[in-house]
Structure 1
């Protein structure tokens, strides 16, 4: 199947003139060519998608997401992070069923797809069996999106030489025609260490396994409040080291780490991140929702650190919208630095695409509109009441567009969203999913003691 995208602006690295209009040709699963208006329209194609009034981007890459958090929307109330973890997250996690995981996986995949996200890192905070992983990953295969499944490794896995993690990697890495890839969660932040979910042998062995399998590792880092009583600062003072110093001293801090949040770097943390080549996964609306502070993204970028974008999960901030995160990122940095252009618009979009692809070690296949890359593409309609008129496409996209403005979304050359409608899921099926999600969510909340019987 050969598809031509024609009429709209293209976000193509080093070719800003294409923002005013261009053409993109997809042949099978890959991008065949990009060009100026009229340059590719003479090529034989099977279909042409009119993208007039739209912006064509690489599919968005969500580098930090918890799929099952859908069930906890609104249940966290006004709790600070530390209290939210103990009183909301852990009670719900303890009561999850396989059916809950299966349903949340499909709804989360469709929700992100509807917002132009083609790839996401599903960071597991709960240990999973092969059966539970099948329940999570089969709906991902059915919806057609990509998932970088980050399996949680815990201290108890050390005795068995990480047999569970190895088994999961060997079974699922490359599943769904390569759309599912496996990495590992090695929780190293002070809060998780205090809860017994981390040990030095776990981090050392888990990282060695990631090196052996040439995959990524993900961890919550330097998050929460800077409280001396129960926040991140308490643990820094008790242990005499930061989260980043902990990883650095173990000799494992390298470019395969996705450092989720990293709200409160201190001492020489930024230098350690920059030297390692690791990636910070910035989740601005989540961090604001929990009152954790404003991540110093501009300082990170100025220090040569790669920063990607994530949504965290709707139990925290009630959204999976990656476009919303771009606006939050820029406005919070503007406020922090008293500068209305704190981060360049093109850089923001690169953070949500190419930098995310690098974080999951897929930059050779994903993250940019280039010939030879896989055809993961999101077309956002800017001819809307809330976005028009469009004078500067990137400014309009970042500040005025919404995830729901995605008009066409393609993964591996297959249109999974066409004219705002799912191609693999009927409206009736989605309606039934949402009904079941409500039932499961209320039942889960009752079992966890967060909703009345």
Structure 2
């Protein structure tokens, strides 16, 4: 006889359970059991109720899904939210953001800005995010303290940045941080050459060598605008993606962020190399950078994930809202109402993001053995009725204010809309104080 399994730490009994894998499935009258931070049971409610559990939570009107994965952002830039709106990308960067960063960004800025971003993301149902910003060691400490999961991409540029005077120094810091955190259960270090136009061939080759040696991901803004592609053709005689291919950077470890410009040759390179694309529709819309052809990529077999980008160009870190925008935009761009349906949109915001970061065996779907990264959406409100397809309702009729609970690795970070580890009033007060300093209003 097999000995009885140890009691579950927690049994959740929602109205709907959407595992994401297998695709398109909605389980009704099912339970999900968590033990030691992992999913230990998924099955019919009557079976679930026979199991011993330290805690049982009835969740009527609630849809359980994998925690959302925000595959691209600059967390600490939440302190620049709304600073330079309604401007094109290069004007926004060169005349506003880069000077503000040079003046204000230090370890304290990154600490407070990352905390603000983490709290906003937890409240929006995000359990894992990718961050690419200065002082990555500080950001990783904030992630560690928060209980969240993250990929921290080390920013690498040809010119001095806050915290690193040269690309070599940034790479060296990245290698050190990678070593320090390689056994961390929730943090992965990646390398983040900023963009093809800010990193030379020589430095890109260094990144490739290090990433191969450490088996680390490469996270990079690529083909964000038509101007970037044009400039590369003039300077190198090739499109940025072709240049990255020549330098050996394409592959399953590459996360190409934005990709609003995709030729047939670009598409072939992405497919052959098995690179992932990170789609940031709202930032691209706001900066008028262009449209990533998501449906075309998806049908070709490219892994497409979704990201919010930073709060300075979005201006929120609302991945549920981002996913809705992605689904609507995909239809307009493809000229097809059936492009990127609700179930695929949710997959893009969960399992595809996990796959892009190399975390698909750990998170991104609700499967026995995976980490218990789970979000509970409350669909009992007036604006969600009546419910024919709860996933459609989630994507097209639900805002992030419906996020009720969030668990990462079985630990609850949001309980009935309240942060369990962070002080919301303190976070607001700190952000307001930064806003006054940056705008020059000393009171």
TM > 0.5: yes
Correspondence 1:360 to 2:357: yes
User: Structure 1 residue 17: deviation in Å?
Assistant: 5.5
Counterpart among 17, 28, 31 of residue 23 in structure 1: 31
- Per the TM alignment, residue 452 of structure 1 is displaced from its structure 2 partner at its CA by 11
Of 109, 114, 134, 1:105 maps to 114
Q: Post-superposition shift, 1:64?
A: 0.2
Judging changes above 3 Å, is the alpha-carbon distance between structure 1 residues 159 and 135 closer, same or farther for their aligned structure 2 residues?
closer
Please, which of 280, 283, 289 is the counterpart of residue 286 of structure 1? 283
Deviation at 1:343, TM superposition (A): 1.1
Show structure 1 runs of 4+ deviating over 6 A: none
Give the CA RMSD over aligned residues: 2.0
Superposed, 1:233-248 pairs within 5 Å as 233-248=230-245
The separation in 2 between residues aligned to 1:361 and 1:10, in whole angstroms, is 24
Which of the residues 160, 181, 186 maps onto 1:172?
181
How far residue 319 of structure 1 moved from its aligned partner, in angstroms, is: 0.8
Q: CA 1:263/1:452 → structure 2, altered by over 3 Å: closer, same or farther? A: farther
Distance (whole Å) between structure 2 residues aligned to residue 203 and residue 371 of structure 1: 39
CA deviation vs aligned residue, 1:310-354 (integer Å, no higher than 9, x gap): 000110011100100111011111122332221132211111111
Q: Which residue of 2 aligns with 1:186?
A: 193
Structure 1, unpaired ranges of 5+: none
Gaps of 5+ in 2: 1-7, 159-164
* Counterpart position of 2:40: 32
- 1:416 alignment partner in structure 2: 413
Instruction: Name 1:148's counterpart in structure 2.
Output: 151
* Structure 1 residue 251: Cα displacement: 2.0
**Structure 1 position 409, deviation (Å):** 0.4
Judge conservation of contact 2:14–2:64 (CA < 8 Å) in 1.
no
Q: How many residues align?
A: 428
- Structure 1 residues 159 and 365: CA distance shift in structure 2, 3 A: closer
- 1:17–1:99 CA distance, 2 compared to 1 (3 A): closer
- What are the superposed Cα offsets for residues 416-446 of structure 1, whole Å, 9 maximum, x if unpaired? 1111111222xxx311211111111331344
Aligned to 1:432: 426
Q: Please state whether the residue corresponding to 2:384 is helix, strand or coil.
A: coil
1:336 is aligned to 2:333: yes
Alpha-carbon distance change, 78 to 134 in structure 1, aligned in 2, over 3 angstroms: same
2:207 corresponding residue in structure 1: 206
Inter-CA distance 77–160: structure 2 relative to 1 (3 Å threshold): closer
Among candidates 129, 135, 139, match of residue 136 of structure 1: 139
Match of 1:391 among 388, 392, 398: 388
Give TM-score, length-normalised by structure 2.
0.92
Q: Secondary structure at the match of 1:431?
A: helix
1:122 aligned to which of 131, 134, 137: 131
Q: Is the 8 A contact 1:61 1:356 kept in 2?
A: yes
CA distance 1:415–1:159, shift in 2 (3 Å)? closer
